[in-house]
Amino acid sequence: MATRIHLVRHCEVENPENVWYGLLDGFPLSEAGRQRAQLLGDHFASHDLAAVYSSPMERAVQTAEPIASQHGLAVTTNQEIIEVLSYLQGQPADRRVLYKVRNLRYFINPLRPSWGEPYRSVAARMVRALEAIRIAHPEQEIVAVSHMTPIQVARLATEGKPLRPWTGGVPCTRGSVTTLVYERDAWVRTEYQEVGGPAVVP
């Protein structure tokens, strides 16, 4: 039997000022996000989940709760799958960050993600978390709610692909499910699904 770890990206956040929120507190799910989280709970209702893990960020825990409640499970927070540290957090989450002279130092080398936590660090902690989860729940299904970049980097690292500085080619929309499938202690494939849409296996 296979072990399946479903990496879920948290749902939409209440962020009317379009702030790069990163690790900042005070960014819960929006009404749309709460509705999508409930859809995720319904989606996983038919799955035999052994555990539900979450990043400790409020938006991730709120996404995980409807999934866990369908199975009478508690949400277990895991620091290893938290959001990436960004030196730009608190600033506008758009091109305006490029207009500030003090931010230019973070983009001197566009081939290196120098605006926050290095991808090698993200990959190392995400792989540690995945390995611990896999060992704790052999041949079972597990949900782990995290954030876009950690999920993208975890996928690339698990698949043995280069840690690209720009991860836009790795699909990971809000509320999406990236499933890593393991057989005999080894990764065998990745599945991707946007809840409410067709399943895709890139």
- Inform me whether the pLDDT recorded for 112 exceeds 70: no
Does residue 196 register a pLDDT over 70? Answer: no
Q: What is the pLDDT of residue 96?
A: 81
Query: E strands, the chain, where?
Result: 3-9, 49-54, 75-77, 141-146, 176-183, 186-194, 199-200
Q: Report whether 18 contacts 93 (CB < 8 A).
A: yes
Is a pLDDT exceeding 70 seen at residue 198?
A: no
- Report the alpha-carbon distance of residue 52 to residue 79 in Å, rounded: 14
Q: State the chain's mean pLDDT as an integer.
A: 91
**Residue 38 and residue 67: Cα distance in Å, rounded?**
8
Q: Pick the range with the lowest mean pLDDT from 79-83, 132-136, 159-163, 193-197.
A: 193-197
- Size of the chain, expressed as the number of residues it contains: 202
Query: What is the predicted pLDDT for the residue at 202?
Result: 46
**pLDDT tens-digit map of 32-60:** 999 999 999 999 999 999 999 999 999 99
For residue 142, the model assigns a pLDDT of 98
Per the CB < 8 A criterion, the answer to whether 115 and 36 are in contact is no
pLDDT confidence band for 111 (50 / 70 / 90): low
Site of tokens 């809840």: 195
Exposed / middle / buried, residue 150 (Cβ in 10 Å: 0-12, 13-18, 19+): buried
Reported as a single tens digit per residue, the pLDDT across 5-38 is 999 999 999 999 999 899 999 999 999 999 999 9
Q: Which residue has the higher pLDDT, 202 or 59?
A: 59
